[in-house]
Structure 1
């Protein structure tokens, strides 16, 4: 386990905030192989503020937007969560539908209703960069069933009272508050990077922070040093 030096002299097991006192650890190098898309105009501070729209506690150094409702703390605009245009994903969806119909299983699929979603977390050593630590050995896939409407992906922090629904404590390149998986009212699933330090990639494309991306059954996205996550629809006969 990596140990980081806190400005107050503590030895921290967390690389962004001290695991002993919660003080921000300044000057921690970011992963060199990840493209950054976080707004550079945000000035890091130790303060927090309450979102006026949904009352979520927001850390001032975590970005311009509320990670839950999209409120813009800089402009005061409400619900600024633009939906990305995903031409590549739409093409992939068309290809899936074409393949399904040609295989003769389209009729069966059309009769199955999505009633929930599972998330399967894998360690993928092929994602490791030479400067990353070695991945855990012989760790089996971990399956999470999404029971909440909003599901935080990240790492636990007792000091900061962060307890993600999808906890990835084995990968220290994952932010404590990294991304959200949201169950929509029509039982579709969306993914949103919430200004993570090292980003989230879907189909090898870096996601823009605070933009909702609709996921399809079987989609996979990657984050951290070597973490791959697959989403699987839970279906029943309609």
Structure 2
């Protein structure tokens, strides 16, 4: 005689309903809805959530609070959008007018200086407090912050020509005893050697045979 098994595992002689519990034999098992994970809300059929890994045997986690309150977010945004401090920038150009003045006064290196056929404008952000202007020299260990020895080099610029000093109180330039000297804003008068001369944003520094450097304060 064939023995049937009901969905609950009982053995039954009857094949339509279980002799033990009366459950229908051969009927599909009822569908059980999966429970929701108390942590992330995803359907989870076992102890550990397949999405976030939460252990259902542990207490339900407390609701998370935003990292920033709305007012705090607005404050952070305003700080990030605030403009930065000013920075000093040096713009280096080949100045034909200055070159003509140097040639007219027959400076020490006037006969060796040639005006470059092409000299792209260079912009250098001045970093630190003391910026050396000159030409690089491996033998002398010189590596100027504003290197005017890059081709086409100005033959009238000394190796260590001048320094720009930046302080909280302002900016100044000092000629270091260069051969051809340093002048400002189109003047024919050279500034005294080894004496700091104050500068303002927009001032033109003339040095060498044709080099002009414009210093300007710009928003960082």
TM-score tier, shorter chain, comes to 0.5 to 0.7
TM-score, normalization: structure 1?
A: 0.49
The question of 1:184 aligning with 2:167 is answered: yes
CA RMSD of aligned residues (A): 1.8
* Matching residue of 2:92: 121
Alignment correspondent of 1:207: 191
1:117 and 1:165 mapped to 2: Cα distance? 13
Separation in 2 of the partners of 1:123 and 1:190? 22
Segments ≥4 residues shifted beyond 4 Å = none
Kindly provide the CA deviation profile for residues 129-149 of structure 1, in whole angstroms up to 9, marking residues without a partner as x: 163532222211111100121
Q: How does 1:1-238 map to 2 (within 5 A)?
A: 115-128=86-99, 129=103, 131-169=111-149, 170-186=153-169, 188-203=170-185, 204=187, 205-235=189-219
Runs (5+) with no aligned partner, structure 1 = 1-111
Q: In the comparison of the two structures, how many residue pairs are matched?
A: 124
3-state SS, counterpart of residue 178 of structure 1: strand
How many Å separate the matches in 1 of 2:85 and 2:175?
24
Q: Find the aligned partners of 1:138 and 1:150 in 2 and give their Cα distance.
A: 29
The answer to which structure, 1 or 2, has the higher relative contact order (CA under 8 A, 6+ apart) is: 1
- Is the partner of 1:195 in helix, strand or coil? coil
Partners of 2:95 and 2:112 in 1: how far apart? 13
- Contact between 2:113 and 2:154, CA under 8 Å: does it hold in 1? no
SS at structure 2 position matched to 1:232: strand
> In the alignment, is the contact (CA less than 8 A) between 1:114 and 1:233 conserved in 2?
no
SS at match of 1:172: coil
What TM-score, normalized by structure 2, do the two folds share?
A: 0.53
